[in-house]
Amino acid sequence: MISYWAIWYMRNRIVHENATASIPEACAFVAAKLREFEAYEPDQIQPCEPSIVKWEAPAEGVVKVNFDTAYDQNSKISFSAVVCRDYEGFILAVGIIQHQYVADASTAEAWACLQAVRLASEVGFTNIIVEGDSLTVWKKVRSQSLDTSIISPIIYDIREAVKTIASISFGFVKREGNVVAHLLAREGRQIQCPQFWIEEAPQAVMQAADKEKPQYPH
Protein backbone atom coordinates (compact mmCIF):
# COMPACT_ATOMS: atom_id res chain seq x y z
CA MET A 1 0.00 0.00 0.00
CA ILE A 2 2.86 2.38 0.81
CA SER A 3 4.45 1.62 -2.56
CA TYR A 4 1.21 2.37 -4.40
CA TRP A 5 0.79 5.63 -2.50
CA ALA A 6 4.37 6.71 -3.19
CA ILE A 7 4.08 5.94 -6.90
CA TRP A 8 0.79 7.83 -7.08
CA TYR A 9 2.37 10.77 -5.27
CA MET A 10 5.26 10.87 -7.75
CA ARG A 11 2.84 10.59 -10.67
CA ASN A 12 0.81 13.58 -9.43
CA ARG A 13 3.96 15.68 -9.10
CA ILE A 14 4.94 14.87 -12.68
CA VAL A 15 1.45 15.54 -14.08
CA HIS A 16 0.38 18.55 -12.02
CA GLU A 17 3.69 20.19 -11.06
CA ASN A 18 5.75 19.43 -14.19
CA ALA A 19 8.30 17.70 -11.98
CA THR A 20 10.74 15.15 -13.35
CA ALA A 21 11.82 11.88 -11.78
CA SER A 22 14.03 9.09 -12.99
CA ILE A 23 13.39 5.46 -12.15
CA PRO A 24 16.23 5.41 -9.55
CA GLU A 25 14.79 8.55 -7.92
CA ALA A 26 11.33 7.00 -7.78
CA CYS A 27 12.72 3.80 -6.25
CA ALA A 28 14.66 5.80 -3.65
CA PHE A 29 11.51 7.75 -2.74
CA VAL A 30 9.51 4.54 -2.27
CA ALA A 31 12.29 2.99 -0.18
CA ALA A 32 12.44 6.06 2.07
CA LYS A 33 8.69 5.94 2.70
CA LEU A 34 8.89 2.23 3.51
CA ARG A 35 11.61 2.90 6.08
CA GLU A 36 9.45 5.61 7.67
CA PHE A 37 6.53 3.19 7.87
CA GLU A 38 8.64 0.39 9.38
CA ALA A 39 10.08 2.77 11.98
CA TYR A 40 6.64 3.90 13.07
CA GLU A 41 5.67 2.79 16.57
CA PRO A 42 2.07 1.57 16.65
CA ASP A 43 1.80 2.20 20.39
CA GLN A 44 2.17 5.93 19.74
CA ILE A 45 -1.55 5.91 19.06
CA GLN A 46 -3.45 6.29 22.29
CA PRO A 47 -6.41 3.92 22.41
CA CYS A 48 -9.73 5.73 22.58
CA GLU A 49 -11.82 5.04 25.61
CA PRO A 50 -15.12 3.52 24.55
CA SER A 51 -17.88 6.06 24.93
CA ILE A 52 -20.21 5.24 27.78
CA VAL A 53 -23.84 5.38 26.76
CA LYS A 54 -26.31 5.59 29.61
CA TRP A 55 -29.67 7.09 30.44
CA GLU A 56 -29.43 10.77 31.29
CA ALA A 57 -31.94 12.45 33.56
CA PRO A 58 -33.83 15.47 32.19
CA ALA A 59 -33.63 18.94 33.64
CA GLU A 60 -35.76 19.75 36.66
CA GLY A 61 -39.36 20.32 35.62
CA VAL A 62 -39.02 18.09 32.56
CA VAL A 63 -40.22 14.50 32.24
CA LYS A 64 -38.26 12.08 30.09
CA VAL A 65 -40.47 9.50 28.39
CA ASN A 66 -38.53 6.51 27.10
CA PHE A 67 -40.12 3.97 24.80
CA ASP A 68 -39.16 0.62 23.31
CA THR A 69 -40.82 -2.42 21.81
CA ALA A 70 -40.62 -6.19 21.86
CA TYR A 71 -41.60 -7.56 18.46
CA ASP A 72 -42.44 -11.13 17.45
CA GLN A 73 -41.94 -11.56 13.71
CA ASN A 74 -43.83 -14.87 13.60
CA SER A 75 -47.00 -13.76 15.37
CA LYS A 76 -46.79 -10.13 14.15
CA ILE A 77 -47.43 -8.99 17.72
CA SER A 78 -45.54 -6.17 19.40
CA PHE A 79 -45.46 -4.86 22.95
CA SER A 80 -44.99 -1.12 23.41
CA ALA A 81 -43.25 -0.11 26.62
CA VAL A 82 -43.27 3.43 28.00
CA VAL A 83 -41.32 4.68 31.03
CA CYS A 84 -41.73 8.22 32.38
CA ARG A 85 -39.11 9.54 34.82
CA ASP A 86 -38.27 12.87 36.41
CA TYR A 87 -34.98 14.71 36.89
CA GLU A 88 -34.11 12.55 39.91
CA GLY A 89 -34.72 9.34 37.99
CA PHE A 90 -37.90 8.45 39.86
CA ILE A 91 -40.54 6.56 37.90
CA LEU A 92 -43.69 8.63 37.45
CA ALA A 93 -45.65 6.36 35.14
CA VAL A 94 -45.13 3.28 32.97
CA GLY A 95 -47.30 1.45 30.49
CA ILE A 96 -47.33 -1.71 28.38
CA ILE A 97 -49.61 -1.98 25.35
CA GLN A 98 -49.97 -4.92 22.98
CA HIS A 99 -50.42 -4.48 19.22
CA GLN A 100 -51.48 -7.11 16.71
CA TYR A 101 -50.92 -7.41 12.94
CA VAL A 102 -47.70 -5.39 13.12
CA ALA A 103 -45.90 -5.50 9.77
CA ASP A 104 -42.30 -5.15 10.89
CA ALA A 105 -39.92 -3.89 13.57
CA SER A 106 -40.03 -0.27 12.38
CA THR A 107 -43.81 -0.29 12.64
CA ALA A 108 -43.52 -1.70 16.14
CA GLU A 109 -41.16 1.12 17.14
CA ALA A 110 -43.51 3.71 15.66
CA TRP A 111 -46.41 2.30 17.69
CA ALA A 112 -44.29 2.52 20.84
CA CYS A 113 -43.44 6.16 20.12
CA LEU A 114 -47.12 6.97 19.64
CA GLN A 115 -48.02 5.28 22.92
CA ALA A 116 -45.28 7.27 24.66
CA VAL A 117 -46.78 10.58 23.55
CA ARG A 118 -50.31 9.43 24.35
CA LEU A 119 -49.45 8.20 27.84
CA ALA A 120 -47.61 11.41 28.69
CA SER A 121 -50.58 13.44 27.50
CA GLU A 122 -53.13 11.36 29.40
CA VAL A 123 -51.16 11.54 32.64
CA GLY A 124 -50.93 15.30 32.24
CA PHE A 125 -47.24 15.94 31.61
CA THR A 126 -46.76 19.25 29.82
CA ASN A 127 -42.97 19.45 29.38
CA ILE A 128 -41.46 16.24 28.06
CA ILE A 129 -38.62 14.64 26.12
CA VAL A 130 -39.64 11.53 24.20
CA GLU A 131 -36.66 9.25 23.72
CA GLY A 132 -36.17 5.91 21.98
CA ASP A 133 -33.51 3.84 20.25
CA SER A 134 -35.13 3.75 16.80
CA LEU A 135 -33.22 6.07 14.48
CA THR A 136 -35.86 5.61 11.76
CA VAL A 137 -38.72 6.80 13.96
CA TRP A 138 -36.65 9.63 15.42
CA LYS A 139 -35.86 10.99 11.96
CA LYS A 140 -39.44 10.73 10.74
CA VAL A 141 -41.11 12.45 13.70
CA ARG A 142 -38.65 15.34 13.45
CA SER A 143 -38.95 15.71 9.68
CA GLN A 144 -41.20 18.40 8.23
CA SER A 145 -41.64 16.56 4.94
CA LEU A 146 -44.56 14.33 3.98
CA ASP A 147 -43.95 10.73 5.00
CA THR A 148 -44.98 8.07 2.47
CA SER A 149 -43.54 4.99 4.16
CA ILE A 150 -45.50 2.07 5.58
CA ILE A 151 -45.54 3.77 9.00
CA SER A 152 -46.83 7.10 7.68
CA PRO A 153 -50.29 6.73 9.33
CA ILE A 154 -48.64 6.22 12.72
CA ILE A 155 -46.25 9.13 12.17
CA TYR A 156 -49.29 11.27 11.35
CA ASP A 157 -50.97 10.19 14.60
CA ILE A 158 -47.80 11.04 16.54
CA ARG A 159 -47.75 14.53 15.06
CA GLU A 160 -51.40 14.98 15.98
CA ALA A 161 -50.84 13.72 19.53
CA VAL A 162 -47.93 16.14 19.95
CA LYS A 163 -50.40 19.03 19.66
CA THR A 164 -51.87 18.10 23.05
CA ILE A 165 -48.59 18.75 24.88
CA ALA A 166 -47.27 22.25 25.59
CA SER A 167 -43.56 21.49 25.24
CA ILE A 168 -42.18 18.34 23.63
CA SER A 169 -38.96 17.28 21.96
CA PHE A 170 -37.74 13.99 20.56
CA GLY A 171 -34.40 12.40 21.35
CA PHE A 172 -32.47 9.41 20.11
CA VAL A 173 -30.39 7.17 22.36
CA LYS A 174 -28.55 3.92 21.75
CA ARG A 175 -29.91 0.72 23.26
CA GLU A 176 -27.51 1.00 26.21
CA GLY A 177 -29.25 4.22 27.21
CA ASN A 178 -32.70 2.71 26.91
CA VAL A 179 -32.29 -0.26 29.23
CA VAL A 180 -35.33 0.27 31.44
CA ALA A 181 -37.81 0.65 28.59
CA HIS A 182 -36.24 -2.36 26.86
CA LEU A 183 -36.63 -4.42 30.02
CA LEU A 184 -40.26 -3.35 30.40
CA ALA A 185 -40.95 -4.35 26.79
CA ARG A 186 -39.63 -7.84 27.48
CA GLU A 187 -41.77 -8.04 30.62
CA GLY A 188 -44.71 -7.07 28.44
CA ARG A 189 -44.59 -10.38 26.61
CA GLN A 190 -46.29 -11.90 29.63
CA ILE A 191 -49.42 -9.73 29.47
CA GLN A 192 -52.57 -10.01 27.39
CA CYS A 193 -54.07 -6.57 27.95
CA PRO A 194 -52.75 -3.02 28.46
CA GLN A 195 -51.32 -2.32 31.90
CA PHE A 196 -50.32 0.98 33.48
CA TRP A 197 -48.62 1.94 36.73
CA ILE A 198 -48.32 5.31 38.47
CA GLU A 199 -45.15 5.87 40.53
CA GLU A 200 -44.40 2.16 40.45
CA ALA A 201 -43.55 -0.62 37.99
CA PRO A 202 -42.73 -4.33 37.88
CA GLN A 203 -39.97 -5.12 40.38
CA ALA A 204 -37.25 -5.80 37.81
CA VAL A 205 -38.00 -2.49 36.11
CA MET A 206 -37.92 -0.58 39.40
CA GLN A 207 -34.54 -2.09 40.25
CA ALA A 208 -33.11 -1.20 36.85
CA ALA A 209 -34.40 2.37 37.17
CA ASP A 210 -32.85 2.72 40.63
CA LYS A 211 -29.44 1.88 39.17
CA GLU A 212 -29.76 4.73 36.68
CA LYS A 213 -30.70 7.45 39.17
CA PRO A 214 -28.26 10.37 38.96
CA GLN A 215 -25.87 10.79 41.87
CA TYR A 216 -26.06 14.40 43.00
CA PRO A 217 -23.34 15.75 45.34
CA HIS A 218 -24.49 16.33 48.89
Is the pLDDT higher at 30 or at 90? 90
Share of the chain above pLDDT 70, in %: 75
Angstrom CA distances, 12 to 7, 16, 128, 132, stand at 9, 6, 57, 49
128 closest CA partner among 95, 157, 93? 93
* Predicted pLDDT at 177: 93
Task: Give the C-alpha separation, 218 to 206, whole Å.
Answer: 24
- Report the pLDDT averaged over residues 159-177: 94
What SS3 string covers the chain? CHHHHHHHHHHHHHHHHCCCCCHHHHHHHHHHHHHHHHHCCHHHCCCCCCCCCCCCCCCCCCEEEEEEEEEECCCCEEEEEEEEECCCCCEEEEEEEEECCCCCHHHHHHHHHHHHHHHHHHHCCCEEEEEECCHHHHHHHHCCCCCCCCCHHHHHHHHHHHCCCCEEEEEECCHHHCHHHHHHHHHHHHCCCCEEEECCCCHHHHHHHHHCCCCCCC
* Predicted pLDDT at 173: 93
- Report the pLDDT averaged over residues 161-181: 95
Is the pLDDT higher at 70 or at 22? 70
pLDDT mean across residues, the chain:
83
The predicted-structure confidence for 22-56, as pLDDT tens digits, reads as follows 666 655 655 654 555 455 443 433 344 444 578 99
Q: Is 9 a residue whose pLDDT tops 80?
A: no
* Predicted pLDDT at 40: 42
* Predicted pLDDT at 148: 86
The predicted-structure confidence for 187-217, as pLDDT tens digits, reads as follows 888 887 899 999 999 999 999 999 999 986 6
